Amino acid sequence: MPEPREYPGIGVGSTAAVGPCARFAAPPAAPADEPVPSGAEAIAAAGAALAEALEQVSAELRAAAAEHPGETLGDVLSATAEMADDPALADRAARIIAEGNGPANAMTKAVAEFAATLTGIGGYLAERVTDLNSVRDRTVARLLGPATPGLRTIDEPAVVIAHELTPADTSSLDMTKVIALVTEVGGPTSHTAIIARQLGLPCVVRAAGATQIPEGALVAVDGARGSVVVAPDEATREAIVRRMERHRALATDTAPGATSDGHPIQLLANIGGVADARSAAGKAVEGVGLFRTEFVFLDAAAEPGVAEQAGIYREVLKAFTGRKVVVRTLDAGADKPLAYANPAHESNPALGQRAYRLVRSVPHLMEHQLRALAAAIDDCPDTEAWVMAPMISTAGEAADFRRRADEAGLGARARIGVMVEVPAVALCADQVLQHVDFVSIGTNDLAQYTMAADRELGALSDLIDRWQPAVLRLVEATARAGAASGTPVGVCGESASDPLMALVLCGLGITSLSMSTPAVPAVRFALRHTSLATCRAMARAAIDAPDAAAAVSAVQELLDPRVREAMSLD
Ligand code: PEP
Ligand code: MG
């Protein structure tokens, strides 16, 4: 029996599970003594062997993708297959062979170079390095012998622990037997995290040393706390069982969002594509509050045509027939650069030509996207379509977006809005609201720009805290302008998924909350057990608090004990 020990990491989601550990085997590395081909013929043969291995890996990944149609996993596997198909990767590896390396070592070196480039760009692209490494491991394994790395069968329900778990690895697992996922690397937006969220599995990433946990050892994985505990004591195990029972009970309530005295507040889903839309449509949400369209095109080298885009938007709208869908135009840039949209280099991309601002350099992208949306909306008359632009900074920009939307024929088909992510827009909300039908507050970026703290930088997480009174005051200013003009004001940043904060937002006058679907039941429960008057008192207490920690304490003081118990991790 191993000693109790905790491996802290970054938690994903709010669930937890206890079970035996199943370790995912490490992939084979390129051998140091791999024979080096000499002479033109041998070099050409090694290059051909590598090309053939890449082709086989691509075919294997595409076959795995075909088994998950319409799912995030299928999309990710197809994107990984595209990496194996990339002629630039094969060319670079062939040149490294010619410089005096065996094919497995050449592949490893070529991938290291490509990975360094992606890491340098950062954000989403940095997290694609996992997929690139998966292509490397599979190609090296093919060059060395018939084995495919990492594959294993799980017979009993188990916690899968891996150094790194690629989507290709995930596709090889029987997910019905996986009760939690733990990796030593990765981030909160890595694929392991995305897949865990989609499946509602507890997950901890960046749990250093976790692969040292012995095979079969009992482990408790807590996504809310971000912890992996080996040999958990009885109290820990029982607390997790209690919490999961509460979690399941909350999910049985499917009523529309409202306070205990019936003040409505729409509960909506954040989605990133067709697979997400289909999955969210089966949940008790009143629609989509944020469709991040840039997520669909992150791997595209060139702008997808209007017809292709319309096809994707149509599928999303169709999934929500009878409900509302808020589509956001491309939020390309900063941590989500699109190859065909963003300038190659900006010294400060978060403050650069991103999102709506791309109309300055590549206006045709907005025009094409709005036309594609108009076509898709025409085909889905029973879905209530709303369209908004991200990163608007002035009332003039809001007016310009409205004009572009009208020119594309969207004015008659959808409600037109903008996001409030730049403090300038919150401060001038009354002027901005004159041009739009609704606004949605992106609290992630609003906090980043209000506090002048990079949202990706863990070291500044206290500054970027959603409870910072300055951020709440900007939310209040926006909500007040919305109430004065009768304009809906939603929140679609991460703040909306925190049940305690949801009460404050409701008290500030926010009319809808959009979040990842697993967060909805707890937010619904908190609202259902709190009156509008209490939400307003909480909002006042948070706004008047001197700092973020004091704001949380002040609101907790006013919390109904039933909500406190439901939110407890014990
Ligand atoms: C936000 O900034 O809060 C938001 C919802 O947009 P994103 O997280 O996609 O930047
Ligand atoms: Mg944003």
CA nearest to 359, candidates 305, 323, 322, 396: 396
Measure the CA–CA gap between 140 and 258, rounded to whole angstroms: 55
Q: Which letter does DSSP use for residue 264 in this model?
A: B
Which residues, 6+ apart, have CB-to-CB distance to 60 below 8 Å?
138, 148
CB-CB contact of 456 with 450 (8 Å): no
Q: What is the pLDDT of residue 454?
A: 86
Q: What is the pLDDT of residues 299-323, one digit of tens each?
A: 788 899 999 999 999 999 999 999 9
* Whether the predicted pLDDT of 385 surpasses 50: yes
Q: Would you state the pLDDT for residue 1?
A: 60
pLDDT at res. 516 = 86
A 10 A CB-CB count for 115 gives 17
529 is catalytic: no
Ligand nearest to the CA of 289: 1
Task: Render the burial of 532-550: b for 16+ CB within 10 Å, e for the rest.
Answer: bebbbbbbbbbbebeebee
Above 90 in pLDDT, residue 458? Answer: no
Architecture of the structural domain at 40-144: Orthogonal Bundle (1.10)
Average pLDDT over residues 276-292: 94
Phi, psi of 385 (to 5 degrees): -95, 135
> Residue 381, exposed/middle/buried by CB under 10 A (0-12, 13-18, 19+)?
exposed
Q: Is the whole model's pTM more than 0.75, yes or no?
A: yes
pLDDT confidence of residue 121: 75
Distance CA 246, CA 562 (A): 11
Tokens of 529: 């057990």
Residues with CB under 6 A from ligand 1: 290, 292, 331, 421, 442-445, 492-493
For the record, the structure tokens of 486 come out as 């009768």
Q: What is the pLDDT of residues 418-443, one digit of tens each?
A: 999 999 999 999 999 999 999 999 99
The helix or strand, by DSSP H or E, that contains position 114, with its residue range, turns out to be: helix 103-121
What is the distance in A from the centroid of ligand 2 to the CA of 120?
21
Can you tell me the distance from the alpha carbon of 44 to that of 236, in angstroms, rounded to the nearest whole number? 59
443 CA closest ligand 1 atom index? 3
Predicted confidence at residue 151, as pLDDT, reads: 47
pLDDT digits (tens, 9 = 90+) for 316-342: 999 999 999 999 999 998 878 888 898
Nearest Cα residue to 321 out of 375, 383, 276: 383
User: What does the domain layout of the chain look like in residue ranges?
Assistant: 5-25+150-248, 40-144, 251-566
**Is 191 noted as a catalytic residue in this protein?**
yes
CA angle 330, 332, 334 (to 5 degrees): 150
pLDDT digits (tens, 9 = 90+) for 98-157: 999 999 999 999 999 998 888 877 766 777 888 888 899 889 988 887 655 554 667 789
Q: For 5-25+150-248, CATH number?
A: 3.50.30.10
Q: Rounded mean pLDDT of the chain?
A: 90
User: What proportion of the chain, given as a percentage, has pLDDT over 70?
Assistant: 95
Fold entry, domain 251-566: TIM Barrel (3.20.20)
Helix (H, G, I), strand (E, B) or coil at 347: coil
Q: How far is the CA of 390 from the centre of ligand 2 (A)?
A: 7
Given the residues 203, 380, 428, 492, the one annotated as active site: 492
Torsion angle of C-alpha atoms 360, 343, 272, 208, degrees rounded to 10 = -150
Quote the tokens at residue 41.
């013929």
- 154: alpha, beta or left, given left = phi > 0 and alpha = psi -120 to 50? beta
